[in-house]
């Protein structure tokens, strides 16, 4: 791709010269764990900087809020190399992006961090996606942790590279390094009016010792960070260039589907394989079973995706459905009530007025734009895979275990992801594709799930019920707060009594109950918080009205009572709430049918407040007129990307709350395509979505998820303000909003 100097986008293709011949640098020896920076030379001249860091130090801050323990990922306590930067004699800078890019922008923001400390023009930077490689450290994109984990390490790598280049110039000119400055990839010595490009100095710099404890820039001097930079892949995406897993093409490739029992836990009894094999373009059809980590199913392999999909429609399978066929959403609701009542009513202080409410949210599918897929090629004892995955080591681990291969014989190429949201942290598609490819050894196989398979075999956001009970004293102050919380066994999302508003009420309680398992659940954008914040923030608004108090004043009053804690900065939460309500012009009088609502959320160490402006017609038609968000997420690396993440999170949140649900009937998902699982469309999206960031020099927090949870309760609270209807069950579309 040719760089447009007006686009702010670096090159994302490598020139024919001055670049490593492979997208992935090779390393024969493990990096010395006691050295933070390694300096070496590129073949043919140039500078290669390898950075190592203690991942635990940087991930620890994000870990408590993710609840994520990916399968196949090594403990974060080890030291490991994380990022590689090379500078060619031409002064071109190449960064290997180790983490998966799924639209959250890290393929752009991570190199920006190095470029800032390195003092190079953004146009000099070429970004190359790294494959799975132990030399790159922990390559997982989960829990809004990629920037958090890499921020300090990448700053140090850039600063160290700049320092060694300055030292190379100082030695060349026989002057003190302290007399030299840098800008735009050039070292300058003002006293003698000499300058040299990084490229001219790179080979000499590669021979020098790596510096230790190099000072980092004062954030107030940042020139690149905090600006708007276009995503490095944007032009290719707009042109439809092959970037995603579903775009992979290999010579002689065949195309496959893999059909599993609609009832969770069921397996194959028999199938009409001969009939399917006779369909146009079909090369083979067979049952796979008894492989560790692989659900029993039927593979259909054809000469095109269309023929594979068409033949799959003719597939008739006798399933052994198993015990989960008795599961249903109706039964789960009955279980939830029984579990909530099992311990009896929560006690309230003498004289307190009780306020009780039950909030329920459903299972949700991930509904990624790109369905699950993987391309695998088994030849000469080596399994090579091209896969859109958030945790590539997890997919590799499944294949190693299930197919009995050695780690060195399972190679994973990371493609761009067409949406993840937690779905691509699990990697069933990897073991499915690899098992089919091994059976057809020597032929590359692209496995693509149909949309129906994608819905039917998701790892859903768990459903949940909150049985709230609160007590108000004679002044309308909350003196007791209890929650009997029920959810599906095995999924993420347990609440902690330490979070707001529970940390504002002494003696508050959260009691958890688990539904019988069997329905696969997993991490869905903003795990835990996505449903729980909707319930708690909606109930907070309900309590304010029950107390006869203005909701903003009520919430600020409660926030002021939260005890000091290193985990939660009350002042930051108050600041974003005041900023959001100020920007949204909170409190202005509105006609009947129009209203404002707000909600707050602390997730992934970020503080978010959202105000929704809505209108509800007498016929019950809902329009979301405006969303206003205020966010404190520490240092903002790329304003353009950060703004898009907050906007996208809010739209994702209201889409799910307004329209979406998965219900279980006879142990299977009843919604198996978009006709029964509608997404937010342009005519429903708010025409105004404002985002305001609190300026901060603190390290970045998570950002891809924290703005999602507060959007739904802000809208629901605004609906109540508009026409008096309290939404306690999602989705909103199932409720009648008519009023007179």
The per-residue pLDDT for 8 is 42
pLDDT tens, position by position, 412-448:
999 999 999 999 999 999 999 999 999 999 999 999 9
Q: What is the mean pLDDT of residues 270-289?
A: 98
Tell whether the model's pLDDT for residue 568 goes beyond 80.
yes
Q: SS3 for 242?
A: coil
Phi, psi of 326 (to 5 degrees): -85, -10
- How far apart, in Å, are the Cα atoms of 265 and each of 29, 295, 319, 514, 634? 45, 8, 10, 19, 44
Q: What is the mean pLDDT of residues 546-559?
A: 98
- How far apart, in Å, are the Cα atoms of 401 and each of 294, 317, 387, 395, 405? 10, 28, 18, 10, 7
- Degrees, nearest 5: CA angle 422-426-431: 150
The per-residue pLDDT for 49 is 81
How many whole angstroms separate alpha carbon 125 and alpha carbon 638? 15
Task: Calculate the dihedral angle through the C-alpha atoms of 67, 71, 77, 78, rounding to the nearest 10 degrees.
Answer: -160
How many whole angstroms separate alpha carbon 394 and alpha carbon 141? 12
3-state helix, strand, coil in the chain (%, to 5): 30, 25, 45
Tell whether the model's pLDDT for residue 540 goes beyond 60.
yes
The model's pTM is 0.90
Q: What is the mean pLDDT of residues 588-613?
A: 97
Which is nearest to 412 in space by CA: 421, 402, 399?
399
Q: What is the mean pLDDT of residues 3-32?
A: 36
Tell whether the model's pLDDT for residue 21 goes beyond 70.
no
**Range name among 81-85, 180-184, 200-204 with the lowest pLDDT average:** 81-85
pLDDT tens, position by position, 444-485:
999 999 999 999 999 999 999 999 999 999 999 999 999 999
Q: What is the mean pLDDT of residues 127-140?
A: 85
Show the domains of the chain with their CATH numbers: 37-239 (3.30.365.10), 245-322+372-448 (3.30.365.10), 464-734 (3.30.365.10)
**Which two tokens mark 730?**
């999602």
The per-residue pLDDT for 16 is 33
**Which two tokens mark 110?**
């991570």
Q: What is the mean pLDDT of residues 149-165?
A: 89
Q: SS3 for 105?
A: coil
The per-residue pLDDT for 686 is 98
Confidence of residue 45 (pLDDT cuts 50, 70, 90): confident
Which residue has better confidence, 378 or 347?
Answer: 378
Q: What is the mean pLDDT of residues 697-706?
A: 95
pLDDT tens, position by position, 495-532:
555 589 999 999 899 988 899 878 999 999 999 899 99
Confidence of residue 10 (pLDDT cuts 50, 70, 90): low
Strands 382-387 and 410-414: parallel
Percent of residues, the chain, with pLDDT higher than 70 = 89
Confidence of residue 209 (pLDDT cuts 50, 70, 90): confident
Confidence of residue 678 (pLDDT cuts 50, 70, 90): very high
């Amino acid at each position: 791709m040719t760089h447009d100097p007006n686009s702010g986008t670096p090159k994302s293709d490598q020139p024919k010269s001055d670049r490593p011949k492979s997208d992935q640098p090779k390393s024969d020896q493990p990096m010395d764990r006691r050295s933070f920076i390694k300096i070496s030379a590129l073949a043919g001249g140039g500078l290669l900087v390898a950075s190592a860091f203690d991942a635990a130090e940087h991930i620890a801050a994000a870990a408590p809020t993710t609840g994520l323990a990916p399968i196949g990922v090594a403990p974060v306590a080890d030291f490991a190399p994380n990022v590689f930067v090379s500078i060619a004699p031409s002064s071109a800078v190449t960064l290997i992006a180790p983490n998966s890019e799924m639209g959250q922008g890290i393929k752009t923001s991570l190199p920006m961090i190095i470029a800032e400390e390195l003092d190079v023009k953004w146009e000099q930077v070429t970004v190359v996606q790294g494959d799975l490689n132990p030399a790159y450290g922990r390559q997982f994109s989960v829990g809004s942790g990629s920037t958090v984990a890499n921020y300090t390490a990448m700053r140090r790598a850039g600063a160290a590279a700049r320092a060694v280049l300055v030292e190379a110039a100082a030695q060349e000119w026989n002057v003190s390094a302290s007399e030299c400055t840098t800008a735009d990839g050039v070292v300058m010595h003002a006293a003698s009016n000499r300058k040299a490009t990084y490229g001219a100095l790179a080979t000499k710099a590669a021979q020098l010792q790596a510096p230790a404890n190099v000072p980092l820039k004062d954030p107030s001097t940042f020139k690149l960070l905090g600006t708007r930079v276009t995503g490095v892949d944007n032009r290719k995406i707009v042109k439809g260039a092959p970037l995603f897993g579903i775009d992979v093409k290999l010579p002689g490739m065949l195309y496959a589907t893999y059909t599993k029992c609609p009832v969770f836990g069921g397996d194959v009894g028999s199938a009409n394989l001969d009939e399917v094999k006779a369909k146009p373009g079909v090369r083979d059809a067979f049952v796979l079973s008894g492989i560790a980590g692989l659900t029993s199913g039927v593979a259909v392999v054809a000469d095109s995706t269309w023929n594979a999909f068409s033949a799959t429609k003719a597939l008739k399978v006798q399933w052994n459905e198993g015990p989960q066929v008795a599961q249903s959403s109706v039964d789960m609701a009955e279980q939830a009530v029984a579990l909530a009542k099992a311990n009896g009513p929560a006690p309230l202080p003498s004289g307190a007025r009780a306020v009780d409410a039950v909030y329920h949210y459903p299972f949700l599918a991930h509904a990624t734009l790109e369905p699950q897929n993987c391309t695998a090629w088994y030849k000469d004892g080596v399994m090579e895979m091209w896969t859109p995955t958030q945790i590539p080591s997890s997919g590799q681990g499944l294949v190693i275990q299930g197919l009995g291969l050695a780690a060195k014989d399972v190679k994973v190429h990371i493609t761009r992801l067409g949406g993840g949201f937690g779905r691509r942290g699990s990697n069933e598609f990897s073991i499915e594709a690899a098992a089919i490819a091994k059976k057809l050894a020597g032929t590359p196989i692209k496995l693509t799930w149909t949309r129906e398979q994608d819905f039917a075999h998701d790892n859903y956001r768990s459903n949940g019920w909150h049985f709230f009970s609160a007590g108000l004293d004679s002044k309308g102050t909350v003196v007791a707060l209890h929650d009997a919380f029920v959810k599906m066994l095995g999924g993420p999302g347990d609440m902690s009594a330490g979070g707001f508003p529970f940390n504002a009420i002494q003696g508050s309680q959260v009691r958890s109950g688990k539904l019988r398992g069997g329905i696969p659940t997993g991490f869905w954008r903003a795990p835990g918080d996505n449903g729980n914040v909707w319930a708690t923030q909606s109930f907070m608004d309900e309590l304010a009205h029950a107390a006869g108090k203005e909701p903003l004043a009520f919430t600020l009053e409660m926030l002021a009572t939260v005890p000091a804690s290193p985990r939660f900065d009350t002042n930051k939460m108050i600041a974003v709430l005041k900023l959001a309500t100020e920007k949204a012009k909170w409190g202005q009088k509105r006609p009947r049918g129009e209203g404002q609502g707000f909600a707050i959320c602390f997730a992934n160490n970020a503080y978010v407040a959202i105000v929704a402006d809505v209108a509800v017609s007498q016929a019950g038609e809902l329009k979301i007129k405006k969303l206003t968000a205020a966010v404190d997420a520490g240092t903002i690396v790329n304003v353009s990307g950060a703004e898009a993440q907050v906007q996208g999170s809010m739209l994702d949140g209201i889409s799910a709350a307004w329209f979406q649900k998965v219900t279980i009937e006879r142990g299977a998902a009843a919604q198996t395509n978009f006709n029964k699982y509608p997404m937010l469309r342009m005519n429903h999206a708010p025409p105004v979505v404002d985002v305001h960031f609190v300026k901060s020099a603190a390290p970045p927090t998570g950002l891809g998820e924290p703005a999602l949870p507060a959007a739904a309760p802000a809208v629901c609270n605004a609906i109540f303000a508009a026409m008096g209807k309290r939404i306690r069950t999602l989705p909103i579309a199932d409720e009648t909003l008519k009023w007179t």
